[in-house]
Amino acid sequence: MMNEQMQEMEEVSKELLKVLAAGGAGNLLKRSLDKQEKMFDKLLETQQSAAQLVKDLLTEEEKVAQELLAGEEVLQTSLQKVRAMEEALQRAGKEDTGLRADSSALRRELEELRAELGRLEAVEDDAGAVSSAVYVAQLYYKISRIDWDYECERPQIKGIHHGPAIAQPINIDSSQHSKSFVSDYLWSLVDTTW
């Protein structure tokens, strides 16, 4: 487009020169040449401005392209992080399922152990009560020296007192005597000399 304008200007210039050569309009030629020079100057300024605009446009396009590439890299990095997080989430879900199954098994085992512990404590309490009762019975025997007949029927109280000299049988009907009499009688058999 600029070349066409230049050619038109040259043609106008040639026509002006013909007019000048033919008739004497020196002033007209001078004004035309001044205008033509101003037009050339404006044309050069316009070309320089256009070249600078193109240069600025290319610079901006390059900046935008770099920003776009940087954005694409950030996007790819973010996508990789998301994929890694999804994989970690899937692994954690599988581990959670496994842990829940293990937890259920451990709870059942814990309940079984608690039940077994309860049974053992009950047996131990029974054994402790028996051993305690045996200890008390042995203590009573050492103090009173009486072997009780536990198979006699109530209201009879039977046993054998092993006194300092001889063994003496005990046979008391508790329905015929008061509790204080029975207690006093049994305590009177205990040797008080230590």
- Residues 130-179 have pLDDT tens digits of 567 777 777 777 777 888 888 888 888 888 888 777 888 888 888 898 88
DSSP state, 177?
S
Quick one: tokens of 183? 């207690």
- Residue 122 sits in the same domain as residue 174: no
Contact (Cβ atoms closer than 8 angstroms) between residue 26 and residue 20: yes
191 in a structural domain: yes
160 in a structural domain: yes
**Can you tell me which residue has the tokens 């954690």?**
92
Residue 72's domain spans which residues?
68-144
Quick one: tokens of 70? 């940087």
Contact (Cβ atoms closer than 8 angstroms) between residue 158 and residue 170: yes
Rounded Cα–Cα distance for residues 49 and 44 (Å): 8
Return the number of other C-beta atoms located less than 10 Å from residue 167's C-beta: 10
177 in a structural domain: yes
49 in a structural domain: no
178 φ, ψ to 5°? -80, 165
Q: Which runs of E-coded beta strand occur in the chain?
A: 146-148, 156-162, 167-173
Query: pLDDT band at residue 29, thresholds of 50, 70 and 90?
Result: low
169 in a structural domain: yes
pLDDT in tens, 72-99: 898 899 889 999 999 988 888 888 787 7
- Residue 139 sits in the same domain as residue 154: no
104 in a structural domain: yes
154 in a structural domain: yes
- Residue 106 sits in the same domain as residue 156: no
Query: pLDDT band at residue 25, thresholds of 50, 70 and 90?
Result: low
pLDDT reported for residue 19 = 66
Q: Average pLDDT of the chain?
A: 80
137 in a structural domain: yes
Rounded Cα–Cα distance for residues 102 and 108 (Å): 10
Domain-terminating residue out of 144, 164, 184: 144
Domain-terminating residue out of 120, 144, 168: 144
Quick one: tokens of 158? 């039977």
Rounded Cα–Cα distance for residues 20 and 101 (Å): 110
Q: What is the CATH number of the domain that holds 179?
A: 3.30.160
Rounded Cα–Cα distance for residues 100 and 104 (Å): 6
- Residue 74 sits in the same domain as residue 136: yes
> Does residue 21 register a pLDDT over 70?
no
- Residue 96 sits in the same domain as residue 135: yes
Give the number of domains in the chain.
2
- β-strand partners of 173: 156
- Residue 137 sits in the same domain as residue 154: no
Starting at the edge strand that comes first in sequence, how are the strands of the sheet with 146-148 ordered? Answer: 146-148, 156-162, 167-173
